[in-house]
Amino acid sequence: MTGSAIPLVEMTGITKTFPGVKALDGVSFTLMPGEVHVLFGENGAGKSTLISILSGVYPQTAGTLMLNGDAVSFASVGDAKKNGVAAVFQEFSLVPTMSVAENIYLGSEPKRGPFTDKGAMRRGAEKLFADLGFPIDVRRSVVSLSRAEQQMTEIAKAIHSEARILILDEPTASLTERETETLFRIVREAKARGVGIVYISHRIQEFSQIADRITVLRDGKLIGTVGVDALSPKALVEMMTGRAIDEIYPTIARKPDGDVLLSIRGLKAWGVGGVDIDVRAGEVLGVAGLVGSGKSRTWRAAVGLLPIKAGSVTLKGKDVTHAPTRRFVGDGVFYLPPDRKSEGLMLSATTRRNIDLGALERDEASGFLGALSPAKLRTITDGIARRVDIPENYMGRAISTLSGGNQQKALFGKGFGRDYDLYIFDEPTVGVDMGTRAALYRLIKELAEAGKAVVVISSDLPEAMNLAHRLVVFSAGRISAELEGDAINEETILASFFSHERPDA
């Protein structure tokens, strides 16, 4: 990694605009042979856009891309692959109905005469997996694999293509500690062969183990590129967010000994293996865990979105196990879904109509003969919009034309349509800029301090840690730790991510 070497990748002044949105603004990025270069930034900072350009998903609007000193432009992902760029995205590019081996060889099937040679495929894939140390039967179909196994298959596929530039987008998000170790070993081996690796991760603690340099992006702009040991984790986070941590997270007063509103006992569901939780009024319960740990599924099962196999759910003293979701809504539970596009919003409808939906059942919205009064509904919705701070001129627009932050505010707004007692926020700030985050956190503070029970399920560890009065950590479908107050700290939580037993039980 000397300065005189020709960089594998040299991106200069890369700008990418989507209709109405500038996703990248003059970003430069270099990758040397044998280097692991971390891209660090919040959701929506432009990391995905940058690697999408590098891997040929779409072209840049402006700027140059050079590989080994030659200017190139990729017409397609296949084009980029031919030039030695392989990417492992968070959204997998595997064909679920085909076997692991078939997926590895997809597009480059070995042939015997005019026919594909299934035997050679199987043997080749088995050797590859043995070399990598991934214990997966290559004859299994991808649909039967766990998320971690799919992740391994995806990585194996990229390694198999003998790429010189390997892009890993949050590869450890769904891996266990041991699998992560294996991945790091593979990364180091690839590195030794002179492969350049672009590594996207939110886990600062991983950087010192494998990274060489870190490039920080924020709001589509390059903030800086630093050596891995140049900055403390805290400084990195402040560089990423652009402000001190204390400014973002409000201090939320806790109401002591609030009533238990929701009580979950021995809950079992698909991916959830026996969970006990009490949710109290006037307190923020944080819920942390990796993808697939059951942290989200538990709550989805509790409010009737997933089938419950065993256990009980009690709401305000009444047994509501197996009750339909609409009963929870009627009884004062608001659930904010993690994916606002698929579950939260009517994308082609206006912002107003979306917020209206949360307030429809209000008696104040009734007019003549109990019929819906558009004028009264409008008054209610305007009030909600002011409360969640959506500008008035956005109300008549299709909500899909709004920024992610404003969409999320509208989704929060649906929670103010009725008088709820319990708020379950599943990933409340995903893909939302810092300013909006701070605003949403203030709303959470208001709710908790008004005596509501608030649950914050988050993959963003600082968020879960800083908002929670009490924090439960999920691992492998169970609660692996329950922490309160000062006991909530990063090391304990991270350790609990991978443990399968409750330490105090």
Partner 1 sequence: MNTSAQPVAETQASAGSPILAFLRTVFVRAGVLPFFLVAALIIFTLASTQFLSVQNLTNVARQSVYLILVSLGQMLVLITGGFDLSVGTAIALTSVVSATAMVAASGMFPDAVWLVIALGLAAGFGSALLIGTLNSIGIAGFSVSPFIMTLGVQSVGAGIALFITGGVPVSGLPYEFGEFFGFGRIFGVPVPVLVALLAIAAMWILMNRTRTGAQIYAVGGNIKAAHLSGINTRRTLFIAYVVCALLASLAGILLTARVESGETNLGGTIALESIAACVIAGVSLRGGIGRVESVVLGAFFIVLVQNGMNIMQIGSYMQMVLLGSLLVLAVVIDQLRYRMLVGSR
Tell the smallest beta-carbon distance from residue 442 to partner 1 (Å): 22
Cα–Cα distance measured from residue 46 to residue 217, given in angstroms and rounded to the nearest whole number: 7
DSSP, collapsed to helix, strand or coil, labels residue 25 as: strand
Q: Which is nearer to partner 1, 407 or 496 (CB)?
A: 407
Of 386, 220, 416, give the one whose Cα is nearest residue 394: 386
Tell the smallest beta-carbon distance from residue 169 to partner 1 (Å): 19
Tell the smallest beta-carbon distance from residue 34 to partner 1 (Å): 36
- Which DSSP string corresponds to 337-404? -S-IIIII--TTSBHHHHHHHHHTT-GGGB-GGG-B-HHHHHHHHHHHHHHHT--GGGTTSBGGGS-H
Q: Which is nearer to partner 1, 171 or 413 (CB)?
A: 413
Tell the smallest beta-carbon distance from residue 389 to partner 1 (Å): 14
Cα–Cα distance measured from residue 299 to residue 305, given in angstroms and rounded to the nearest whole number: 8
CB-count burial class (<10 Å; 0-12, 13-18, 19+) for 8: buried
Q: Tokens for 382, please give them.
A: 């305007």
Q: Which is nearer to partner 1, 224 or 330 (CB)?
A: 330
Which residue matches tokens 């939110």?
A: 202
Contact residues toward partner 1 (CB under 8 A) are 18-22, 305, 324-326, 328-330, 335, 337, 342-349, 353-354, 356-358, 360-361, 371-374, 394, 397-398, 400-403, 406, 414
Calculate the dihedral angle through the C-alpha atoms of 181, 40, 104, 125, rounding to the nearest 10 degrees: -20
Q: Which is nearer to partner 1, 111 or 326 (CB)?
A: 326
Q: Which is nearer to partner 1, 18 or 244 (CB)?
A: 18
Cα–Cα distance measured from residue 361 to residue 82, given in angstroms and rounded to the nearest whole number: 57
Tell the smallest beta-carbon distance from residue 159 to partner 1 (Å): 31
Q: Which is nearer to partner 1, 3 or 19 (CB)?
A: 19
Of 87, 73, 50, give the one whose Cα is nearest residue 161: 87
| Alpha-helix runs per DSSP H in 137-203 | 147-160, 177-192
What φ, ψ does residue 296 adopt, rounded to 5°? -90, -40
Tell the smallest beta-carbon distance from residue 128 to partner 1 (Å): 35
Q: Which is nearer to partner 1, 290 or 439 (CB)?
A: 439
Tell the smallest beta-carbon distance from residue 373 to partner 1 (Å): 8
Cα–Cα distance measured from residue 74 to residue 383, given in angstroms and rounded to the nearest whole number: 49
Of 330, 323, 332, give the one whose Cα is nearest residue 302: 323
Of 178, 136, 139, give the one whose Cα is nearest residue 156: 136
DSSP, collapsed to helix, strand or coil, labels residue 94 as: coil
Tell the smallest beta-carbon distance from residue 19 to partner 1 (Å): 6
Q: Tokens for 275, please give them.
A: 């969970």
Q: Which is nearer to partner 1, 268 or 362 (CB)?
A: 362
Q: Which is nearer to partner 1, 99 or 407 (CB)?
A: 407
Tell the smallest beta-carbon distance from residue 209 to partner 1 (Å): 36
